Each structure stands twice: as C-alpha cells, then as structure tokens.
Structure 1
C-alpha cells in the first residue's frame, strides 16, 4: 500500500519552484471520476466513483537533449455507471535536441459516443453486447510539418476500462492492418502538441491568453484564463494534497477547432509552483446532460507507473510505420 507521504511525493515535485523534476524521473496522478446528470443546466443526479483515471509525466535529460512522455487514460466502471462502457487513452512522446526544434509523436483512442441527450444515452445502455467501436488518432510533427491519421475500428467484445492496456495494444496494431485512410498534413513550426502545450501553460504565470496546438487535421487553439481559488486550496490542504497556505490556481480553457468552430470546455486546478504542475482536479462536460469531475486520490503508484511506461511501447512502433511515408 502506498503511504500518503509517498503519494504526495509522486503527485507533485517539491514545493519550492527552484527544485525541479530530476532527470529521468516521472510523476503519476490517479483520479476518481464522479458524474453529475444535468437537466436544463441543473444537476439532478450525482454519483461518486463511476470511473477512474491516471495521468503520467516523465522527463529524461541526456547528452542528446530532453525527452518528455505524457499520457492520460480514463474510463468508466460499468457496474457503477449503470452499464455505460466508455474509456480512452492519449499520449505524446516529445524529443528536444539542442539547437533544433522539438519532434513529437502522439497516439490515442477512445470509445465512440454519439448520444446527444439523456434518452439516447439510455438507449445506448441497452444496445447489443458485441464489439466496442472506437476512434484512433496518431500524428507526428517534425521538420516544420505535421501529419495525422484518424481511423475507426471495432474492438472485440469485452473491451473496457478494466483491460484498457490490452485494448491499447489492439488499437495500435490496427494502424498497420486497416484500409488506407488519407493522412492530413499541415505546417507545425513553433507549435506544440496538446498535452505538451498544457504542461507548459500550467508552469507559466499569465492570467489569460490564446495558444495554438497540434491535434488532428484541423488547426486548434486554447483560449484560457486562470485565477487563484482559495476555497479549493483549503479543500486540497484538508485532503493533504498540498501544504497549508499553498496558492491553488483555477485554470479554465476552451478548445476551439478553427475549421468547424466547435468548442469544448474544461477546468482544472493545480499548484503552479510544483514541477511538474499536474492537475489536482479536472472538470469537463462531454455532453450537455453530463458533467464529470476527476479528483486526485491515493493509488498503487508502482503498478500504475509500470503500466503507463509500457503503454508507449505498444504504439510508438506502429504509429511511426504508418506515418513514415508521409513525412
């Protein structure tokens, strides 16, 4: 069992900003997912522990430069979520050499969810128990170019959060076996991938801004603002997630698709002095009728660390092979 002290050491770097993350070190944050059903913007039902999540950050410095690996995985527990089976994974591998631009690869998959209202969500609970449809994405940015590929596939029956590493391996293997799907390319000079962009913003001090990032075929940007949240700071201190008196920031952001003008919003809370500065709480509303809150919790971090480290081995090779011809 991981002690609270050990969990806090993994959750964030030492509180003094001057003490950064050592070379070759990683951090893990585990989350409990709570759900709120909303009707006409008013909450009508709340349930705790409907799912789980994990965020992984690794920095490794060497004579050749710096490598970052960032990953996030989350999913529902059907026995706690009225049978709803939703899960996904997204990760990035970034290489930065001295006197050269960053090179990045990313890969992710998530279950397809087309429900637009509560009635459609109810019907989805009673659909067949066959394969599980998912969407995968992979991309690479280097030499000023960005290439990405989006694919639809179906995982075998029984796919779910409890076996998500196995699902990740199957989704990655499909990249080499699916029928060709035209990849999309665009300029990428000076623009970073999504998780990398977010990690950089959380260590900055600006109160608001707009920041482009790379993900998929369409240009995207984050429109964000941040402010101190003393109430959240007291809550996290009471749960021993931060030291008493720590200034916790509330970071609100809209993701804007420049081509479709689509917009999605999320909010997270973090300690800006920690290195890396990882979210203590995440809130998002994937559907008009559903709000999700991810709260940092204690977990078996050695097992989580091994799982997240191994997840990169599952997709880096297949994704590189698919994208190599276009770069």
Structure 2
C-alpha cells in the first residue's frame, strides 16, 4: 500500500483498513446471497514552520475556537443495498477559529483530526491530522500554510526506525508528516517519515501533534521529499475550500485548491435532503428539518483526472457539518456523524 500524502488518501486508507479488520472476504461473500435473495492551535513548538511564519507575519486577534465531534461508522453495500455495518469504529473532530489582523485581513484556522478506535476494529490503530491557516481579504486568498500527519504503510527503513524506540516498540506505527505553504506566485511543501509508539491512538492526538511539531522544529525527522512549484491558480487549501463552499449562497460551486504542490478542483452542488434532515431532528441535532442542506461534492486531481465523491450535511448559517460521508471504494462508505447532544 502506498504512503498516504493528504486527507483524501488518509480517509481512503482508513476506510479500507477498518473494513479489512472487521470482515474477511469469505464472510463478506457469505452475506451476499441472503441479501440478493431476501433483501486551535495547540501550543506551537519553537521553530520557523510554515504555520509559525504566517502566524508571525499576520498577527491576528482570534475568536474562541468552535469544535464539533463525530462518531465514525463503516457501511458495506452490494448493488446499493447495505449488507454490513459497524458503528463507532472511529472518531473525528473539526475545529474552526477566525481572526482579524490590524489591517483588516481575515485569518481562518482549521483543524481536522480522525482516528480509529482499536477496541472496535480488532486492534487497528490509524490516526490522521491536518491543520490549516489561511489569510484572505473577502474572497481573495492571499497566503496559506498547513501541517499534518497520518499513519502510513511501513517503508524499507521501518525496522531500523522501530528499533530506535526501544524494546517496547513491537507495535510501533509508521507515520508520514507534511508541512507546506503557498502564496499567489508559488508553493512549497516537505514530506517526512517517522515511527511512533503504537500505544498512541486518537485519544492521544494532541500529544502526537506536539511531538511531531517539536521533532520537525529540531530537524529530527527523515525528509523524503521537498518541492516548490510556481504559477498557481489559487493558494486555497482543502478544508478552507470545503468551508467556503458550505458558506456560499450559490447552489453550484467549483473551486481550485492546492495540496502538496498538486492542483485539485472541488466541485459541489447543494440542496435540501428532507429524509436525512428529519433523522437529525429525531437525534436532537437540529430543531428544524428545513434548516438542513446536503452538499454533494467531488475532489478531482487535475493532473490524473481521478475523482473522489463525498457528501456533507450542514445547517444553514453554520460552517460545522452535522455529518459527512466519504466513499473510499465503490462498495464501502465511511460516515462521520455528530455525537448526539
């Protein structure tokens, strides 16, 4: 399995590996006949990271962070019919902070973290985190930076790195870390590899963030790739582009964004979904079904042409989703829904 390099890759790997941990090929196909017939920032580590540089160049007064937490469920379908599901295989959270600089530029800090619950996934331990800082004036994005990490497949140096953790590292987990920045004229990013203790799970995400940022600051991680590109369409980042689409008054939005030097396009269409909205009312997540909209979207890699579909449900006048779904495989759906009040 290739090393994931962005949020899209992580969710694809996360869903697939959770599925494999829960059900074997034999047990899956044994289900099919019956259904066919009958059926914000934490404290920054010292050092001039891209996030640190933008925060220093654009000092802002931030409002208090807004956070929403989610439960992750996995659903397997056959010919569009659900044949297997497991609730609470993971958790996630999204945090938004907004600020204003002295010269009235707007700053938006976004954070997304997701991970498996090993007790619900037969020991599978997966964790991903992305943090973005975007500076804009109205709809014009001036500068952006991001930092993140995610579990990855062991590379050739995995055994050597694992030994460095000591005798208790038999369950060590391989990670990829990334940091990057972009302005209108160019972007740059760096990819790193590392191995961390297997005892660190989603519950330890803040601790992992501090550890990885400190390791990057001290230049302790192995650099695997560093690139700089020019002639950008936009320095928008992924989470910012999705939030912008949610907030837009338009029903159809197409937005370019950048990740790891590669151009992507976000293509979304929004409209009502009365059935799912009523579900949110029954869960006491919203007061009125009429306040809920569904966003049907796709992420297209403009170099390869590959498209990845996703869906987001949200309440009008809110930028924090009620639910979002991602389909890493045609038969596999990963759903994140806000915990009940």
Which TM-score band applies after superposition, normalised by the shorter structure? 0.7 to 0.9
The equivalent of 1:80 in structure 2 is: 120
The equivalent of 2:183 in structure 1 is: 142
For residues 213 and 238 of structure 2, the distance between their equivalents in structure 1, rounded to whole angstroms, comes to 20
Q: Mind listing any 5+ residue stretches in structure 2 that lack a counterpart? A: 1-60, 155-168
For residues 81 and 151 of structure 2, the distance between their equivalents in structure 1, rounded to whole angstroms, comes to 27
TM-score by length of 1: 0.72
Matched, 1:69 2:112: no
CA RMSD in angstroms comes to 2.7
String of CA shifts for 1:122-154, please: whole Å, max 9, x gaps: xxxxxx943211222211112532111222322
Taking a change above 3 Å as real, the CA distance of residues 143 and 285 of structure 1, as seen in their structure-2 partners, is closer
Taking a change above 3 Å as real, the CA distance of residues 287 and 98 of structure 1, as seen in their structure-2 partners, is closer
1:41 offset after TM fit, Å? 5.5
TM-score by length of 2: 0.69
Matched, 1:89 2:129: yes
Contact in 2 for aligned 1:207/1:226 (Cα 8 Å): yes
Contact in 2 for aligned 1:204/1:272 (Cα 8 Å): no
Moved more, 170-179 or 221-230: 170-179
Contact in 1 for aligned 2:135/2:143 (Cα 8 Å): yes
For residues 177 and 74 of structure 1, the distance between their equivalents in structure 2, rounded to whole angstroms, comes to 25
The equivalent of 1:103 in structure 2 is: 143
String of CA shifts for 1:14-43, please: whole Å, max 9, x gaps: xxxxxxxx9613311110111123456653
Equivalent residue for 1:226, pick from 245, 270, 275: 270
Matched, 1:60 2:99: yes
Contact in 1 for aligned 2:182/2:235 (Cα 8 Å): no
The equivalent of 1:307 in structure 2 is: none
SS at structure 2 position matched to 1:183: strand
Contact in 2 for aligned 1:25/1:60 (Cα 8 Å): no
For residues 139 and 93 of structure 2, the distance between their equivalents in structure 1, rounded to whole angstroms, comes to 33
Q: Mind listing any 5+ residue stretches in structure 1 that lack a counterpart? A: 1-21, 115-127, 300-327
Taking a change above 3 Å as real, the CA distance of residues 281 and 86 of structure 1, as seen in their structure-2 partners, is same
SS at structure 1 position matched to 2:321: coil
- Equivalent positions of 1:83-232 (< 5 A) are 83-96=123-136, 102-112=142-152, 129-142=170-183, 144-175=185-216, 176-180=219-223, 181-188=225-232, 190-232=234-276
